[in-house]
Structure 1
Amino acid sequence: MPGGRRGPSRQQLSRSALPSPQTLVGSSCSNGAGLRNRSSTSVGLSAPPLTALISPEPVRHARIPELPIDSSVLFEFMLFLYLLVVLFVQYINIYKTVWWYPYSHSGASTSLNFHLIDYHLVIFITVMLARRLVWTIISEAFHTSSSSLLQYMILIAARLTLLTFCGWLLCWTLVNLFSKHSVLNLLFLGYPFGVYVPLCCFHQEARAQAPAADCGCLEQDPDGQTLRPRDFLALLRENLREQLSSSAPVPTHTCLLSPELIRTEVEGLKADFNRRIKEVLFNSLFSAYYVAFLPLCFVQSTQYYDMRWSCEHLIMVWTNAFVMLMSQLLPPQYCDLLHRSAAHLGKWQRLEHGSYGNAPQHLWSDSTIWPQGVLVRHSRCLYKAVGPYNVALPSDVSHARFYFLFHKPLRILNLLIGIECSVVLYQLYSLLRSDRWNHTLSLGLVLFCSYYVLFKLLRDRIVLGKAYSYPLSSSSLGLKSQ
């Protein structure tokens, strides 16, 4: 009738009967979750899986060039030479004299008070600094192929001779130091080893997961079911075997499609990265301790030295050693490996309660590759997918930290460049304001080492910056979809 109420047309009925795309995406067929609508009711519809409706974009990785890396022997030799230079500089700062005075003055005969220097301590520090170089030479010689039995026997004899000489020299210096100094001073000689044992031997990640088996803190029973903590001697033997063995192989990355395999690969890379960071921290602190701090512990009470300058020297030595070890143990190829794994891992951003109340929400599933922007519920919390691929555990903080550190491939390199640039600028500022000859000499010698490290970092940054800024497409040259 003309004045009556019109009902919905046939076209409107057909449109309202069809579910919206958001309803299909939020259906409960893929992971058992329903869609939360405005009335907070669950709509259970039969729909294809989520990954069939929205497939994440394929992750494309940039192919970076093979940048030159110093060999192990060359790097250890350069690090040892740098530590010897800064040790010499520290002794100049402590035992300097007024050598420009007339010869009638008692302190004008030499530039240093050589009679106050304990040469046994210098030899002890030199042997401790050379331990990495000696062991690297022995390890490299051990892996070289010997064509005959005679060459193999000569190689074994040379290694034994070198180790025997170093051990005898170390014992000789310790005996002389024990006869001259007090017990309190002698405790400073082995203090870093007391820190190394709990840090690298017994501070392990005790998690009963398959990737955590490499940490070495748990031991399986013969049935392979229960786990119990390892005893002191077992951990000590395993750590000693690890130190005497060759370096661990660098992990490899494959573009896996299984979320479980991606998480397993990330766990292995996390364990390897933590091991490298521990090695960098310990060796940098070890070098700075023996080079810049230990000589101060054996200074006589009547000897005056500039405490502020010695502390600045200690900080600069530790910073340079830290950057040098980081650039060697975390080369560009290794950082690119971590970046590729982080791109497949993804990240979840936790949302506050009440956010996105009208958007589709799903229950998180460990067998689903979630696309970007999807909302999931896990452990009574709401999370939003951030990365293009998201297979990380939403409540795992280590996964979020891994993605934050490595989803940008140049983050670590930029951090090292910032640290080294700050050190170089501060050294130049101190050099311009220095009014003492020992400060000028020490800064001039240390700056040469800092310039070399900064040059290598800037070279890698320029090359990698151009490689990663290249458009990521399947048809681009130099890039490959894996």
Structure 2
Amino acid sequence: MWWLPKSYWPVSLKYYMINPYLLSCIGLMLGIRVTKCFWNNLTDMFLIITGGKDSTFWAILEYGVLKAPICTMVISSFLFSFSKVYFDYGTKAVIYFTIPLLVYIILLWTGYYGSRELKKPNLREEKAFADKFVNMFLKIHSYFVNIGQANTLINPEITEHLCVGSSKKIRAEVDHLIQDFCNRLKYSIYAGFSTAYLSIYLPIAFLPKPVYGMPQYLLINEIWITKVFIIVVLTSFSVYFTYLLPLNYLNLLQKAAFHLGRWEEVEKNQAKEFVPFSDEILYPASEKVTVSFNNRFYKVADSKNAISTVAIPGNTAQFLFFRIASDPVRFVTFLCLFEFTLIVFQFSLLIMTSDWQHIVTLVLLMFANYLLLGKLFKDRVVVGRIYNPSGEDVDLWKQMSLNLDETSPKKLLDFIGRPVEIDVAPLTGKKSDTSVTGNIVTIDPESKSVCLVQFYHGIPSHSIYVPGTSVLEVHDLTEGPFDDVNLNYVKNTPELMMMINEKFRKKVEKKNYSEEEIERRRSRLLAKLEYSCVKHEVLDDGKTVLVGAVKIRAPFEVDSCFSENQLALGRVRKLVESVFDGTAV
């Protein structure tokens, strides 16, 4: 709108049609997400620096030096520019700039959880029943309290799926994920609308009518503006939607979908044997059970990799969730096709246009879509190799796996500090759909149990114990990737080994026993076992004493006892301690 096509350069750019204050308002409103992202990054940075502890100095530096001045500059700049726009256009400026806020409230603040109710004091409750005006005020207050919490998105970096055996807990988790997915979709729709509204429509709505006191009449290419508006809406939507759906979030949805399952409606004449549906029963996916619900009949649908079926028959939301979340490869492929179609549409417009300013606009928008298509195509390749691996991928994955069972105890020491991903057996015992990542702290050479330390932004956050019976496969991540700061593991460095030695290794002075002392200790231990009538067995030429499920190795100290049975291990350790506490045998 600020260029006169097919004219000479000195008179082609109509700078007088540019309102710098309007441009400033639009730019600040479009950049509000950047400001919010910068605010969150500052919060995370100071959280890491302080370690979650209260500190007056860091609080003053965070809010007084960084956050408060930045917000003050942004707000004051917007208010100053908007006051100039309001002076020129009056209430029209207020109405047009309020529309995005109204759309935000209607789109995002209407679908909150109705079960969340505001807790009110008893006196206020009694008065609410007596006074309808107070009751109405309380409902409005409760509404605004709840809508602030209903649209909060879960953080996939710190959220893990838990394999539980309760059908109600599985449905509750799925319902929460459905609400979260819908919120992400709403945020993306709002991002597309608001970006196109602010960048395309508002400059047209606030075009200057008089110039130097003389009225002017502008010919607006409404067809071209409509096409650009649609392209900007779809481009902004696809970019923001892809940003809100990282691969780890799709993996979280898939795990929940495998536990949710799906029902398939059948005709009454096909349901020969059926049972009434119960929302407390977890129906295995491998058993083709037929149930009756609301005078209709359903059977467990054939679903690849599904573990159980706990969905409510005929529930549309749960059905759509399973169809979308059960196959991330199909979902990412659909996003690639959507983006490719958008690029083809833009390319067709580019071929048919002849105005140079239209060409520049389309090329810039196509460049953004090309980058997004490249990112989606890379994600498609990654999820395809993860969920539909080829034979070469399987062989490569096996080469990266660490076989703990066939590794000697001395070689297990080389695994300390190494970043790994461990596939953990679920509660159902049928299929692995859970894995944990971190750096190895220690490995029990007997039970093959593993202790991991996990990191948050490169700083140790907590440790995880994985029993040996739950370890299905251990994948070596020494080669990375390490380019994401949100990973739960870090590179194996000398600094990491030093940290593990300082925080996790038990500092004890080991005593070197001679052969005679070891023989004397073994004799005392065997005498104590025979005296206590404890069944035992001597193995490895006298180097190991087996007491039930516990192995006691030379030099027969408390720390020389090994077993996966923690109860038996504790008892035997106490017995060994009593042998060498100075009492006579």
The answer on whether the counterparts of 1:201 and 1:235 sit within 8 Å (CA) in structure 2 is no
Find the counterpart in structure 2 of residue 360 from structure 1. 273
Taking every aligned residue pair, what percent have the same amino acid on both sides? 22
Corresponding residue number in structure 1 for 2:224: 309
Partner of 1:470: 389
Residue 134, structure 1, aligned to residue 41, structure 2: no
SS, match of residue 95 in structure 1: coil
Q: Say which SS state the counterpart of residue 309 (structure 2) adopts.
A: coil
**Equivalent AA in structure 1 for residue 375 of structure 2:** K
- Partner amino acid, structure 2, of 1:113: K
Report whether the alignment pairs 1:276 with 2:190: no
> 2: distance between equivalents of 1:440 and 1:191?
30
Contact 2:277 2:292 (C-alpha < 8 Å) held by counterparts = yes
Cα shift at 1:269: 1.3
| Structure ID, larger Rg | 2
Q: Which residue of 1 aligns with 2:155?
A: 249
1:360-379 paired onto structure 2 within 5 Å: 360-370=273-283, 371=285, 372-379=287-294
Instruction: Give the superposition deviation at 1:221.
Output: 6.6
Q: Residue deviations 1:52-78, cap 9 Å, x none? A: xxxxxxxxxxxxxxxxxxxxxxxxxxx
Contact kept in structure 2, 1:99 and 1:110, CA below 8 Å: no
**Match among 355, 359, 362 for residue 443 of structure 1:** 362
Q: Does the 8 Å CA contact 2:339/2:373 hold for their aligned counterparts?
A: yes
Selected match of 1:120 from 21, 33, 50: 21
Q: Is the 8 A contact 1:177 1:186 kept in 2?
A: no
**How much does 1:285 deviate?**
1.4
**Cα distance in 2, alignment partners of residues 275 and 355 from structure 1:** 41
For residue 395 of structure 1, report the CA deviation from its aligned partner: 3.3
Assess if the C-alpha contact under 8 Å between 2:110 and 2:147 holds in 1: no
Shift of 1:247: 6.3
Counterpart of 1:405?
324
Deviation by residue 1:16-61 (Cα, 9 ceiling, x = unmatched): xxxxxxxxxxxxxxxxxxxxxxxxxxxxxxxxxxxxxxxxxxxxxx
The aligned counterpart of 1:320 is 235
Cα drift, residue 368 of structure 1: 2.5
Q: What are the ranges of 5 or more consecutive residues in structure 2 without an aligned counterpart? A: 123-134, 210-216, 402-422, 425-430, 433-585
Aligned with residue 201 of structure 1, among 103, 109, 116: 109
SS of the residue 1:382 aligns to: strand
Q: CA deviation at 1:445?
A: 1.5
User: Hey, what's the Cα distance between the residues in 2 that align with 1:381 and 1:247?
Assistant: 36
CA–CA separation in structure 2 for the residues paired with 1:381 and 1:222: 46
Residue 97 in structure 1 maps to residue 4 in structure 2: yes
Instruction: Please report how far the alpha carbon of residue 109 of structure 1 lies from its aligned counterpart in structure 2 after TM superposition.
Output: 2.0
- Counterpart CA distance in 2 for 1:115 and 1:186 is 23
Quickly say closer, same or farther: Cα 1:328–1:156, change in 2 above 3 A.
same
Q: Which moved more, 1:274-283 or 1:374-383?
A: 274-283
Letter in 1 for 2:355: R
Cross-structure match for 1:424: 343
Contact 2:118–2:145 (CA<8 Å) still a contact in 1? no
The structure that is strand-richer by fraction is 2
**SS across alignment from 1:257:** coil
CA distance in 2, matches of 1:308, 1:200: 31
> Contact 1:127–1:166 at 8 Å: present in 2 too?
yes
Instruction: Note the C-alpha offset of 1:315.
Output: 0.9
Larger RCO, structure (CA 8 Å, separation 6 or more): 1
Query: After superposition, where does 1:325-404 map in structure 2 within 5 Å?
Result: 325-352=240-267, 354-357=268-271, 359-370=272-283, 371=285, 372-386=287-301, 387=303, 388=306, 389-404=308-323
In 1: Cα distance, 2:315 partner to 2:43 partner: 42
Q: CA deviation at 1:316?
A: 0.8
SS at match of 2:354: coil
SS in 2 for 1:410: helix
Could you tell me which residue of structure 2 aligns to residue 169 of structure 1?
77
1:344 and 1:471 map into 2 onto residues whose CA distance is 25
Residue of structure 2 aligned with 1:181, choices 74, 89, 92: 89
On the 8 A contact 1:345/1:390 being kept in 2, the answer is yes
- Please identify, of 415-424 and 270-279, the stretch whose mean Cα deviation from structure 2 is larger: 270-279
- Contact persistence 1:361–1:377 (CA under 8 A): yes
CA offset at residue 235 of structure 1?
Answer: 3.4
Render the CA deviation track for 1:184-232: whole Å, top value 9, x for unaligned.
35411110111212332233243x4xxxx4xxxx345779xxxx99632
- For these two proteins, the number of residue pairs brought into alignment is 365
Alpha-carbon offset, residue 99 of structure 1? 6.3
Q: CA deviation digits over 1:380-423, x for unaligned, max 9?
A: 11112114421111132221121122122223322221221111
Distance 1:151 1:185 in 2: 40
Q: For residues 130 and 182 of structure 1, do their structure 2 counterparts lie closer, same or farther at Cα, with a shift above 3 Å needed?
A: same
Distance 2:143 2:181 in 1: 20
Distance 1:198 1:392 in 2: 30
Change (3 A) 1:235 1:143: farther
Residues 233-242 or 151-160, more deviating:
233-242
- Alpha-carbon distance in 2 for matches of 1:242, 1:391: 25
Q: Which amino acid in structure 1 is aligned with residue 107 of structure 2? A: L
1:253 and 1:340 in contact (8 A); partners too: yes
* CA distance in structure 2 between the partners assigned to 1:124 and 1:149 by the alignment: 35
Separation in 2, partners of 1:335, 1:412: 9
Specify the SS of the correspondent of 2:12: coil
The aligned amino acid for 2:270 is Y
- Whole-angstrom CA distance in 2 between matches of 1:311 and 1:413: 28
Contact 1:253 1:341 in 2 (8 A): yes
In structure 2, do the counterparts of structure 1 residues 421 and 186 end up closer, same or farther at CA, with 3 Å as the change threshold? same
Give the TM-score normalised by the residue count of structure 1: 0.69
* Letter paired with 1:373: K
Letter paired with 1:310: I
Residue 63 of structure 2: aligned partner: 156
Q: Following TM superposition, by how much is the alpha carbon of 1:458 offset from its aligned partner in structure 2, in angstroms?
A: 0.3
Mind listing any 5+ residue stretches in structure 1 that lack a counterpart? 1-93, 102-107
* Aligned equivalents of 1:427, 1:248: Cα separation in 2: 34
Counterpart check, 1:297 vs 2:190: no
Q: Distance in 2 between matches of 1:303 and 1:186?
A: 24
Query: 1:163 is matched by which residue type in structure 2?
Result: C
Identify the match of residue 259 of structure 1 among 159, 163, 167: 167
Q: Offset at 1:152?
A: 4.0
Q: CA deviation at 1:311?
A: 1.0
Q: 1:125, 1:291 within 8 Å by CA — same for their partners in 2? A: yes
Are the aligned partners of 1:364 and 1:376 in contact in 2 as well (CA < 8 Å)? Answer: yes
Residues of 1 paired with 2:155 and 2:270: CA distance? 46
Q: Deviations over 1:333-385 (max 9, x none)?
A: 10111111111111112223x3315x211111223232453211112111121
Distance in 2 of aligned mates of 1:271 and 1:164? 34
